[in-house]
Every structure is written in C-alpha cells, then in structure tokens.
C-alpha cells in the first residue's frame, strides 16, 4: 500500500510530507513532452472571445500502462490553454459535471470581483444539494454573502493587462489543494503586438512548462490525504500534512519526467510551478555537466525591463518564470537535463531536452524588453502594513494564520482605497509563497537587504523563505470590491492562510 505512516504521527510537520507511489515509476526522459491543446473560441463576435469549458471526470494515461481518473477542465490535464490578446475580453462559461462544487480563479488576472472566483462563489454540480457540506473535507456554505450559481457560470476577463503567462485553477474554500491535485489547472496566455515584435523565440520554439508533483496508488489513481476516506478519518492526518502534500513523481504538462526534441537554437521556456507545495530550484545541465544560462525575460506579471541571467532559478508554487535557453553549443544528440537542486533521488530531475539537429535561429533577446514597468516609490505609499504568516491554532486544530487569524469569509481584514499605493511587510515562519489577487507588485527588500535577482519585474507571488520578511509595493487600482491574499502553498491556503482584501 501507499506509505502513509507519516500521517499517523502526532507531531505536526511544518515541511511538506511526501507521499510515495505504489506503482513502479517510469524511467526518466522517455515520455514525450505534451503541450496542452489551445482552446478554440465558440464565438469571436463583438470583440469578445467566448469559450466553453466543461469540468468533468476523465481518465488519462499519465504513467505508461495505467489509467488515472482526474478532475479535468474539458477532459485534459493540464486543461486547455486560453490564448488571449491584450485588451480583447475573454468570456468563459464553465459547466460543472464533477462530483464536487468548484470555483474558477484566473491567477494573475486583472479581473472584476464578480469573476475573480471568490472561494464561496460556487459552481454547483447538478446533483448537489445544500447540506452535503461535510463532503470532501469540511467545506462551508454558511457564508450569507456566498453567490451560489448552479451548474454553469460565466466568467469575464477584460485582459486589460501586461502580456504574461497566467493560469486558471480551482479556488474553493478549504478544498483548493485537493481540487488542483486532482487536475483542475490550466494555462492562459496573454500577448500583445509589442511583445510579438521583440523577436523572442516563438511558435514551436516557445514552450509552456507546467511543473507539478503527484503520487499514484497501485490502481493508477492519484492519492491525496483529504479525499482518501481511510486517511481522512484518521487522527493526526492534518498535523502530518500541515506543511503540505508532496508527490514522488514530477510531471511537466502532465507527463512524468518527459523529454522534448529541440533544434540547436534558442527556446523560450515559460515555467509555471503549479505544484501544491513543492518548491524547485531549476538548473539546465548540459551533456558535459556544464550549466546552461537561464536568461530570464519575464516574471509573474510579464516582461522584465532587461534580461537577467541565472545559473539556477528557485521557483515557488504559483510563480512563473519566462526564460530563454540557447541550445546552440550543445552537440547534436546531446541531452540537457532540467534538474531540481531541492529534490533528492527521482525528484531531483524534472525533464530533459534532446538536441536533434542544427538549425537557423532568427530569434533574439533584446537588451531592452519593456519600458512600462511601474516604478512606485516608497514616498508615494499612503500606508505601510505588516502581516505575519505563521503556524497556529485554528478551530482547535493545527492551522496557518495571517496576522494571527485563520481565513473567515465573513470578516473584513484589510480595506485599501482604490488607487492607493501601499507598502506591505510580509513576515514568514517557514517557506510561504504569498500571492495577492488583482494587482502586480514590486519587491522592495528581503529581510532589510536588497531583493534577489529573480525578484526583478512585476510579481504577483513572492516566495518568502523561512524566517524571512519581504517588503512589497503596489498600487491597488483596477476595481473596487472584495479580493484575497494568501499563501499559495495550497495546503497552507486550505488550512486557513488566506485573508480578505477589500478595495473601496
């Protein structure tokens, strides 16, 4: 059986607990890298691209020779990719045919509050009756402000924002982590003419890479503590997985340790860490053991001002890094391994590229990538706030708190004025990737020192390392209404580490 003994220890684990799969795992770099299908709009009239997505159970062959039942957007994991143009609104009707209520959130989207996927703003499956509240791990439907829509729900995204790689995922209260784990995540790309004109690698030479970890039972099914009945009812489970759920299989675009054939030219790799709680520290290792440069051109919220070259790139849950790698110096037939320095054994590998042939390269990485990055100054800030992100007690159990409190949809936590610039100081006990909805921000400092090289550009998720504090600055503009900020370790989020952000 699955090794779950860690689940029964009494001492809470503040770092993620790894589930071990009960299936023989495939050898690395054999399965070809899939690229998620791009969804076709059902109509494009009136300057709006309209899409329909059905959320349904579907099984897929993830480990060769085994079927894995998943919760999917339109039958695939990752879900279909939405390709959007800046300033051209996208409208997506989601239909829920899953056995559980869902909530769709476009991560990094500049979205009005009614389409932002508040955690109690549910899309209910047909059969769902109120009163099934205990099903699937303690979800609550008691918030009087919950807007309950049945079966289908239309979400509108203005796409009035810098081009970047966004992603959509489930966001239901107390149940986000298992829902994402079961497959509810997809990519959403925003582009514009200015970015297209830069000459970065494109077409087949631009690849989205959604990295996740999972664990598999011997039936081929994914295993997750909160939705496995035998695990859920045992005491101590919550404590064991307080730090987060880790799997022993690394998937890229839903395939285990895949391989991709490339020309000996530049590629644009758009990394997203969509794992629940696993952090990676990525490096590209050539056949001679030398590390290739990771030339970062963009961050969570789009292009940097100028490229930043890394030898390794830490990536926390929900972060995106837009990176150009040049395979020109790799001999034909050579393999470049994307490794994870934070992993051990099999989790130390992510995927590989095999250089198949020489080819002409018309791409370039310009020295100036963008000139529209906001440059908010401290002196503009009307307020400085501080929030602690720490373990604590929640309803008599272990939980995760912001400013000493677990999430409560009925409470108002922070009210900011529309258009105000604020500095927030975020203080962490253990590793917490902190995400703000609606706005992009800049990182001003880390523990009183200057930001890290990978903090460049406009972020929507900042990876706070253990014991660290970070200052961020942003302007709360766009829309009035109720949004969120939270830890994007999905288990931390489900165990209370989320707060309301009201823009008034």
Residues in contact with ligand C2O by CB under 6 A are 105, 107, 169, 171, 318, 435, 437, 484, 486, 488
Residue burial 423-440, b: 16+ Cβ < 10 Å; e: rest: bbebbbbbbbbbbbbbbb
Q: Which stretch binds Cu ion (CB under 5 A): 13-21, 356-364, 424-432, 457-465?
A: 424-432
- Nearer to ligand C2O by Cβ, of 153 and 437: the residue is 437
- Nearer to Cu ion by Cβ, of 209 and 499: the residue is 499
The nearest distance, CB 400 to Cu ion, in angstroms, is 6
Q: What is the DSSP letter of 194?
A: H
CA-to-CA distance for 277 and 15, rounded, in angstroms? 9
Residue 169 contact partner, candidates Cu ion, ligand C2O, none, CB within 5 to 8 A by sort of partner: ligand C2O
The nearest distance, CB 184 to ligand C2O, in angstroms, is 11
CA-to-CA distance for 440 and 109, rounded, in angstroms? 9
Q: Is 487 in the site for Cu ion (CB under 5 A)?
A: yes
User: Which residue's structure tokens are 């975020």?
Assistant: 426
- Nearer to ligand C2O by Cβ, of 21 and 474: the residue is 474
Q: Which stretch binds Cu ion (CB under 5 A): 152-160, 233-241, 294-302, 479-487?
A: 479-487
Taking CB atoms, the residue at the shortest distance from ligand C2O is 107
- Please list, in sequence order, all residues whose beta carbon lies within 8 angstroms of the beta carbon of residue 161, skipping any fewer than 6 positions away: 86, 109, 110, 190, 301, 302
Q: Is 205 in the site for Cu ion (CB under 5 A)?
A: no
Of all helices (H) and strands (E), which one includes residue 178?
A: helix 176-181
- Please list, in sequence order, all residues whose beta carbon lies within 8 angstroms of the beta carbon of residue 14, skipping any fewer than 6 positions away: 242, 243, 391, 429, 430
- Nearer to ligand C2O by Cβ, of 116 and 263: the residue is 116
Residue 105 contact partner, candidates Cu ion, ligand C2O, none, CB within 5 to 8 A by sort of partner: ligand C2O
Q: Is 278 in the site for Cu ion (CB under 5 A)?
A: no
Residue 250 contact partner, candidates Cu ion, ligand C2O, none, CB within 5 to 8 A by sort of partner: none
The nearest distance, CB 335 to ligand C2O, in angstroms, is 33
Backbone conformation region of residue 174, classed left if phi is above 0, alpha if psi is from -120 to 50, else beta: left
The structure tokens listed for 65 are 């020779």
Q: Is 492 in the site for Cu ion (CB under 5 A)?
A: yes
The nearest distance, CB 399 to ligand C2O, in angstroms, is 18
- Nearer to Cu ion by Cβ, of 208 and 406: the residue is 406
- Give me the DSSP letters along 354-393: EEEE---------S---S------GGG-SEEEEEEEEEEE
Phi and psi, residue 242, nearest 5°: -55, -40
Q: Is 21 in the site for Cu ion (CB under 5 A)?
A: no
The nearest distance, CB 404 to Cu ion, in angstroms, is 15
The nearest distance, CB 183 to ligand C2O, in angstroms, is 15
CA-to-CA distance for 315 and 237, rounded, in angstroms? 27
Residue 475 contact partner, candidates ligand C2O, Cu ion, none, CB within 5 to 8 A by sort of partner: none
On whether the CB atoms of residues 427 and 471 are closer than 8 A, the answer is no
The structure tokens listed for 228 are 């496995």
Q: Which stretch binds Cu ion (CB under 5 A): 23-31, 111-119, 313-321, 426-434?
A: 426-434
Backbone conformation region of residue 203, classed left if phi is above 0, alpha if psi is from -120 to 50, else beta: left
Q: Which stretch binds Cu ion (CB under 5 A): 69-77, 157-165, 194-202, 427-435?
A: 427-435
Q: Is 279 in the site for Cu ion (CB under 5 A)?
A: no
Options 268, 432, 446, 486; binder of Cu ion; rule CB under 5 A? 432
Cα of 120 vs its chain's centroid, Å: 20
The nearest distance, CB 461 to ligand C2O, in angstroms, is 8
On whether the CB atoms of residues 70 and 183 are closer than 8 A, the answer is yes
The nearest distance, CB 481 to Cu ion, in angstroms, is 25
Residue 446 contact partner, candidates Cu ion, ligand C2O, none, CB within 5 to 8 A by sort of partner: none
- Map the footprint of Cu ion across residues 124-143, applying CB under 5 A: none
CA distances to 405, 434, 470, 491, 500 from 387, in Å: 10, 11, 10, 19, 13
The nearest distance, CB 462 to ligand C2O, in angstroms, is 13
CA-to-CA distance for 501 and 504, rounded, in angstroms? 10
The nearest distance, CB 315 to ligand C2O, in angstroms, is 14
Site residues (CB under 5 A) for Cu ion? 432, 487, 489, 492
């Amino acid at each position: 059986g699955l090794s779950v003994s860690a689940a029964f220890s009494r001492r809470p684990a503040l770092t993620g607990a790894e589930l071990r799969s009960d299936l023989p795992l495939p050898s690395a770099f054999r399965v070809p890298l899939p690229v998620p299908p791009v969804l076709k709009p059902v109509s494009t009239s009136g300057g709006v691209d309209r899409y329909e997505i059905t959320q349904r159970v579907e099984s897929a062959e993830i480990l060769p020779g085994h079927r894995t039942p998943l919760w999917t957007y339109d039958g695939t994991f990752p879900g279909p990719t939405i390709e959007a143009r800046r300033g051209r609104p996208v409208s997506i009707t989601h239909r829920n045919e899953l056995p559980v209520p869902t909530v769709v959130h476009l991560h990094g989207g500049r979205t009005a509050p009614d389409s932002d996927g508040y955690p109690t703003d549910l899309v209910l499956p047909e059969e769902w009756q109120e009163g099934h509240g205990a099903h699937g791990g303690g979800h609550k439907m008691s918030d009087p402000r919950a807007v309950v829509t049945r079966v289908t729900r239309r979400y509108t995204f203005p796409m009035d924002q810098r081009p970047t790689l966004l992603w959509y995922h489930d966001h239901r209260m107390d149940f986000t982590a298992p829902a994402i784990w079961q497959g509810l995540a997809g990519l959403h790309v925003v582009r514009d003419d200015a970015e297209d004109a830069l000459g970065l690698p494109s077409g087949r030479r631009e690849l989205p890479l959604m990295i996740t970890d999972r664990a598999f039972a011997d039936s081929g099914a994914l295993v997750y503590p909160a939705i496995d009945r035998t695990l859920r009812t045992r005491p101590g489970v919550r404590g064991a997985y307080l730090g987060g759920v880790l799997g022993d299989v690394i998937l890229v675009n839903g395939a285990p340790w895949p391989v991709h054939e490339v020309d000996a030219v530049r590629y644009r790799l758009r990394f997203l860490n969509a794992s629940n709680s696993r952090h990676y520290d990525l490096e590209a290792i050539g056949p001679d053991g030398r590390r290739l440069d990771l030339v970062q051109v963009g961050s969570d919220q789009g292009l940097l001002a100028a490229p930043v070259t890394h030898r390794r790139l830490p990536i926390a849950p929900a972060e995106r890094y837009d990176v150009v790698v040049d395979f020109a110096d790799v001999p034909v037939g050579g393999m470049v391994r994307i490794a994870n320095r934070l992993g051990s054994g099999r989790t130390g590998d992510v995927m590989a590229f095999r250089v198949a042939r020489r080819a002409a390269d018309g791409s370039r990485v310009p020295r100036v990538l963008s000139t529209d990055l906001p440059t908010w100054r401290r002196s503009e800030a009307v307020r400085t706030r501080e929030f602690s992100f720490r373990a604590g007690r929640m309803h008599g159990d272990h939980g995760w708190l912001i400013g000493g409190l677990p999430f409560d949809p009925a409470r108002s936590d922070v009210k900011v004025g529309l258009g105000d610039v604020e500095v927030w100081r975020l203080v962490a006990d253990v590793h917490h990737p902190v995400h703000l909805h609606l706005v992009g921000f800049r990182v001003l400092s880390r523990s009183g020192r200057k930001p890290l090289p990978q903090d460049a550009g406009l972020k929507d998720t900042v990876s706070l390392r253990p014991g660290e504090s970070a200052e961020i600055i942003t302007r709360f503009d766009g829309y009035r209404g109720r949004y969120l900020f939270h830890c994007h370790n999905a288990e931390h989020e489900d165990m209370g580490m989320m707060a309301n952000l009201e823009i008034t």
